[in-house]
Amino acid sequence: MAKKPATPAPKVEDDEDETQGIDVEDGAEDGDDLVIDIESVEDDAGFEVLPRGTYDCEVANVEFGYSQASGNPMWTVTLEVRNEEYEGRKLFTHLVWAGKGLPRTKTAVKQIFADVIPDMNAIKPRELAESGELVGVMCRAKVNIRPYEGEKRNNVQQLLAPRADD
């Protein structure tokens, strides 16, 4: 995948919410004169987890990579929730292309990507992820809550076909 050329940083406006703790001299769009007062920045409230349930989602991104734990090839799938109350919230899941994770991957791929992948007998995970063909596909995500590093996090248990009316 080709890298995008570097673009200059956007000019910082004098909007209180966007510039808390930031002081930028006029004409200093390159970042050389950027000064941050980190003490005046509000603390991060963290993520509010979604309630357990099944959510309508759109595939926002699929990246091919390798599991840090096992070294197995996998997709990191970013989903964007389309239910009105949680519109735009992001969920993340991994589909592993080897070992114990392969049956879950098979189920998910057949449920949500059957219309996009013409030959289920010759899937090339890296090529498919990099093609962008999987982005925009609608699905549903069955979500629960689990502890992760001392905090509650959403966990996508299962990817399902979209509702019939989608």
DSSP 56-122: EEEEEEEEEEE-TTT--EEEEEEEEE-SGGGTT-EEEEEEESSGGGHHHHHHHHHHHSTTT-S-TTS
pLDDT value at residue 6: 41
pLDDT value at residue 23: 56
Mean of pLDDT values over 66-90: 96
Identify the CATH assignment for 53-160 out of 3.30.2310, 1.20.120, 3.30.9, 2.40.50: 2.40.50
Mean of pLDDT values over 24-42: 72
| CB-count exposure of residue 132 (10 Å: 0-12, 13-18, 19+) | exposed
Top-confidence residue, 46 or 69: 69
Top-confidence residue, 33 or 144: 144
As a dihedral over the C-alpha atoms of residue 79, residue 81, residue 82, residue 83, rounded to 10 degrees, the angle is: 150
Q: Decide if pLDDT at 44 tops 50.
A: yes
Average pLDDT score over the chain: 84
pLDDT value at residue 119: 92
Q: How confident is the model at residue 9 (pLDDT cuts 50, 70, 90)?
A: very low
Distance CA 128, CA 53 (A): 29
- pTM check: above 0.85: no
pLDDT value at residue 165: 75
Top-confidence residue, 42 or 123: 123
Cα(first)–Cα(last) distance of the chain, in Å? 31
pLDDT value at residue 145: 96
